[in-house]
Homo-oligomer: A and B are copies of this chain.
Amino acid sequence: MKNFISLHDVENVQELVQEGLKQKQNPFADQKLGKNKTIGLLFFNPSLRTRLSTQKAAQNLGMNVMIMNVGQDSWQLEMDDDVIMNGDKAEHVKEAAAVIGSYCDIVAVRAFAGLQDRDADYREIVIEKFRQYAGVPIVNLESATRHPCQSLADLITIEEFKKTARPKIVLTWLPHFKPLPQAVANSFAEWVNMTDYEFVITHPEGYDLSSQFAGNTKVIYNQDEALKGADFVYGKNWSSYTQYGQVLTQDPSWMITKQKMDLTNNGLFMHCLPVRRNLKVTDEVLDNQSVVVQQAANREWSAQAVLKAILSGL
């Protein structure tokens, strides 16, 4: 694998899922693969699971890890071309990416959507600049519109916990007071659409995801209706794509409760975390009917499958 920026970099999704499950069984089997190889983890935004799971996976594979909080440990980066750099940003990504790439065998980047300019976000300026200038494979640790390491961990988790060959998955919007990116929801939809699972998306009017990601997925605006018979309820808040970055409603009736879960087929609740308890989902559901911790734990194996595939191609 050359990069892991989006699903399009993956040749065979099912093989990658199986590789994750295999790494989980035997985490140190490929330790020689990463010897004398270095991954740089660059964070433009906070991270808990991504930071730790990627570091851990790299170390499991014998790699060295260098971590940098960009703009805090180092300088703020200019992303635009043809500008006179007389403002806050002391360095251009052209130099920064090339220099970091010269020290690293793989560069992994987290850079959230700004949610101000849809076109800019959906052009994926930051991660694409790194792809263009770093000269080494790039791993997406959540970009403006995608979070593929998360989506791969999600599929690994569904594979582990599914009770039927073709479970019903419901991606449901959850209420939140702040505008959040669409990346996790986009990416989840994109990846689930590569499987033969039954898949439904539910959200209030005005929250339709970009068709680039949702494809032809059935959208049901009535959450109760959508949840019926679900094996997995994948919760996530996102801000509007059509009225870009706006919070159109905080309707608390979209919170996942025990009553909502009773509509499902003894379903399991999933969420990428962090999750706000009793705002998006109740304590009762999280503590009794969820696999959110197992899902987060699988981030390690997701990252490890990805890094192994990239290392194998170096």
A-side residues, CB < 8 A to B, are: 27-28, 36, 38, 40, 43, 46-49, 51-53, 55-56, 59-60, 64, 66, 68-69, 72-75, 78, 81-86, 90-92, 94-96, 98-100, 102-104, 177, 273-279, 283, 286-287, 292-293, 296-297, 300
The minimal Cβ–Cβ distance linking A143 to chain B, given in whole angstroms, is 19
A74 CB contacts on chain B under 8 angstroms:
46-48, 51
Contact, CB under 8 Å: A273 / B47: no
CA distance A248 to B27 in the complex (A): 55
Q: How many copies does the complex hold?
A: 3
Q: Closest residue to A92 on the B side, CB-wise?
A: B277
Subset of 26 A-B contacts with CB under 8 Å: A46-B73, A46-B74, A47-B74, A48-B96, A49-B99, A52-B68, A52-B99, A52-B104, A56-B103, A59-B64, A75-B274, A82-B278, A82-B283, A84-B277, A84-B278, A84-B279, A85-B277, A85-B279, A86-B177, A86-B276, A91-B275, A94-B277, A95-B274, A99-B296, A102-B296, A102-B300
CA distance A45 to B95 in the complex (A): 20
Contact, CB under 8 Å: B73 / A43: yes
The minimal Cβ–Cβ distance linking A181 to chain B, given in whole angstroms, is 14
A104 CB contacts on chain B under 8 angstroms:
52
Q: Known contacts A52-B103, A95-B274, A95-B275; can you find 15 more A-B pairs with CB under 8 A?
A: A28-B36, A38-B56, A46-B74, A48-B68, A48-B99, A52-B99, A53-B103, A56-B103, A69-B73, A86-B276, A92-B274, A92-B277, A95-B292, A99-B273, A99-B296
Candidates B55, B99, B277; contact of A78 at CB < 8 Å: B277
Candidates B46, B278, B297; contact of A75 at CB < 8 Å: B46
A292 CB contacts on chain B under 8 angstroms:
95
